[in-house]
Chain A
Amino acid sequence: MAITVKRVSRHVEQTSYVKATLQGMASTLKQMFEPKVTIQYPEQRWELSPRWRGTHRMLTKEDGKARCVACGLCPSVCPSNCIKLVPGEDENGNRYPLVFEIDEFRCIFCGYCQEVCPEDAIHVGQHYENSEYSREGHVYDLERLMAQTHPVSTLWDATDPRGE
């Protein structure tokens, strides 16, 4: 028994593809005169927002040592528990981190560590090229964090820290 299919009779305006095709071509033509949004990475680089939160950087004092005093606030505030800190003393008896490691693979780049830091030491950076050949490569120790040179994030306006 043959199946009968109900045919709806539609107007030619609804069934013709000519108009839709022309509309699509018009859209394409219009984009040819719009400014380009793609960039030629890696030759061209994207300009990051000043609030971009990327891989970390530890700032240093004038004597080349890390500003960190191992106060323990960043491992306490870190929601992904990616900071390992062992406090100790440096040769002058000042409080200093013996171990400071950030697992960038665990990190969710919330920027809390930068916000909580009382010494302006740990920062999230304006940086996004983080690929490594191993998971271990993503664990940045203190030396590596200090060796980073990329600009750091500006999480808030220094002249108006409360956003008033």
Chain B
Amino acid sequence: MATTAEPTTAVTQPKMVNLTIEGRPVSVPEGTSILEAGKRAGVLIPHYCYHPALSIAGNCRMCLVDVEKAPKLAPACATAAAEGQVVHIYTEKALEARKGVLEMLLINHPLDCPICDKSGECELQDFTYQEGPAESRLRDPKRFNPVEDFGGDVLYTTSRCILCTRCVRFMDEMAQDTVLNVTERGDRALIGKFEGKDLTHEWAGNVIDLCPVGALLSKDSLNKARSWELDHAPSICTGCSQGCNISIDTRDNMVIRFRPRPNEHVNKYFMCDTGRLDYRWINRQDRVEVPLVRRGESLAAADWDVAIPATAALLDGHRVFVAASANLSNETLYLLSQLIRANGGTGAFTVLTGPEAPLPGVPDLSLRADRAANGDGATLLGFRRTASLLDGLTAGDVLIVADADAANITPAQLALAAAVIVIGTTLPENLRTAAIVLPIANHAEEDGTFTNLRGRVQRFYQAKAAPGMARPSWWVVGDVLAALGKGNAYYLASEVFAAMASDVSAFAGMTYDALGMRGLVVSGGAK
């Protein structure tokens, strides 16, 4: 038995090797590089050309470390960790070598940090400050190359490039669309485009994040903010049902940019350009900022204390038809489903679709056809996916438009409903006849979770403050349920999630703590 079982365990549990890095003992699977082992031990070995998602180039020589009993310094990215190895990163020999590398890299680097967008999050800055030479010995003028537009969202500032070739390898291996190369030789070398090609691949924007210096910059966020002024909030992209992990970077309550956040189960280190550049809607200024309650001909501003009981009075005893957005969180959709369960009725949502755009180098990573984040969560929670939003609305229903795209709603459909309640971030022109408008926070302004197309439930955090009196959507719906006497009011998104986990079997056993930063797959498994 034991002999037959052995090969399977060998595959699932690779052989571990034990080594010491900077005095810290660490155990890693066989074949791991010293650099990755160092990360696990909690020491970052300086590096430029190495990136965990890309093949090893070993061309920057920045990760040279001192391995005991080895005759020469070893590049940590290309040397496998071995049993009993003792690695020193900060010996005089290793520091001297890396200082030499940095001096060479800085020979032609323009040092225009004051006008460089990467300043503050630049690895060349960081490692030079850490262990680089204080002064340059170069007395000749620096080489200068003009800035080049690489197409797409990418601008190439040639002079700043340190030729790590991360971008070249990304386009070759991940995008599998060979656009970039190293042109010229020696000190004239630079990153070039092949004749007639542009960085227009759907995932090409990732070269901006991969670039360790300020050579490849986003044209979209060029000169908009310094990196140290930005606040970062972990979030989930709403662009499609893939659920890429992102960081929302804000300054003064305005979203400046999206960047991908690593999650090995979903998007590795990447996000597509469609998602990356689709953030302006978060900053829109035409938001509903106060609850509005109909007084005769017009909608009048009201306090929440007035609007919530008024909503409950409209809903009491009526069937409801909930037209939901597929970008609402699981929490809000769950509470809306509770409302449907209490009053009777149905819930529906529509999802915009577009062409798929996969990233060939990563399995199961693609800009999905469904261009909404939580269509799968809505389906799990009993909402019906339709092509036409208000299909099935019967006369006498109370229509709740929960942040859904109202562009196709006609006055005739609205006339069918007993009353129209809008729970939304904005008030579209064709919903001005609504009885009540409850302002809610948008995706970047509240906490919550999305379920992606593989059933992975992932958290997103609040990145900015909601305008005016707008409240998180789960708060609003919870208050309405409480006013109806059909549920509790909630004070935290985690409480709503806990209630959902105990009620809906797919989410059984999940909590915000258990989800962590990587998420969990709903029970029933990945589709």
Contacts and interface: CB of A to CB of B under 8 A. Distances in A.
B229 A95 contact: no
Nearest to A94: B115
Contacts of B7: none
Interface stretch (A17-25, A68-76, A106-114, A126-134): A68-76
A151 interface: no
A61 to B, nearest CB: 14
B223 A88 contact: yes
Interface string A85-108: 001110000110000000000000
Contacts of B229: 72, 76
B228 interface: yes
A69 B115 contact: yes
A70 B229 CA distance: 13
A143 interface: no
A71 B119 CA distance: 9
Interface string B100-133: 0000000000000111000100000000000000
Residue among B115, B119, B224 with most chain A CB within 10 A: B115
Interface string B198-234: 0000000000000000000000001111101100000
Residue among A70, A73, A87, A118 with most chain B CB within 10 A: A87
B134 to A, nearest CB: 12
B114 A118 contact: yes
A119 B224 contact: no
Interface in A52-86: 69-73, 76
Nearest to B111: A118
Contacts of A69: 114-115
A76 B228 CA distance: 9
B257 to A, nearest CB: 14
Given A73-B114, A119-B114, A87 B224 contact: yes
Contacts of A72: 226, 228-229
A11 to B, nearest CB: 73
A96 to B, nearest CB: 8
A87 B228 contact: no
Contact of A70 (B113, B223, B228): B223
A69 B114 CA distance: 7
A89 B219 CA distance: 12
A73 B228 CA distance: 10
Nearest to B119: A71
B216 to A, nearest CB: 17
A100 to B, nearest CB: 14
B114 A87 contact: no
A73 B119 CA distance: 11
B223 A89 contact: yes
B284 to A, nearest CB: 20
Contacts of A76: 226, 228-229
Contacts of B223: 70, 87-89, 95
B218 to A, nearest CB: 14
Contacts of B226: 71-72, 76, 87
B119 A87 contact: no
Contacts of A88: 223
A126 B344 CA distance: 77
A95 B115 contact: yes
B156 to A, nearest CB: 14
Interface in A118-143: 118-119
A89 B222 CA distance: 9
A71 B228 contact: no
Contacts of B114: 69, 71, 73, 118-119
A53 B113 CA distance: 27
Contacts of A89: 222-223
A70 B225 CA distance: 10
A72 B120 CA distance: 11
A72 B225 CA distance: 9
A95 B114 CA distance: 9
A65 to B, nearest CB: 14
Interface string B373-410: 00000000000000000000000000000000000000
Nearest 7 interchain pairs by C-beta: A71-B114, A72-B226, A95-B115, A118-B114, A69-B115, A87-B223, A95-B223
Given A76-B228, A87-B223, A87-B225, 11 more contacts: A69-B115, A71-B113, A71-B119, A71-B226, A73-B114, A76-B226, A76-B229, A87-B224, A87-B226, A89-B222, A95-B223
29 contacts: A69-B114, A69-B115, A70-B115, A70-B223, A71-B113, A71-B114, A71-B115, A71-B119, A71-B226, A72-B226, A72-B228, A72-B229, A73-B114, A76-B226, A76-B228, A76-B229, A87-B223, A87-B224, A87-B225, A87-B226, A88-B223, A89-B222, A89-B223, A94-B115, A95-B115, A95-B223, A118-B113, A118-B114, A119-B114
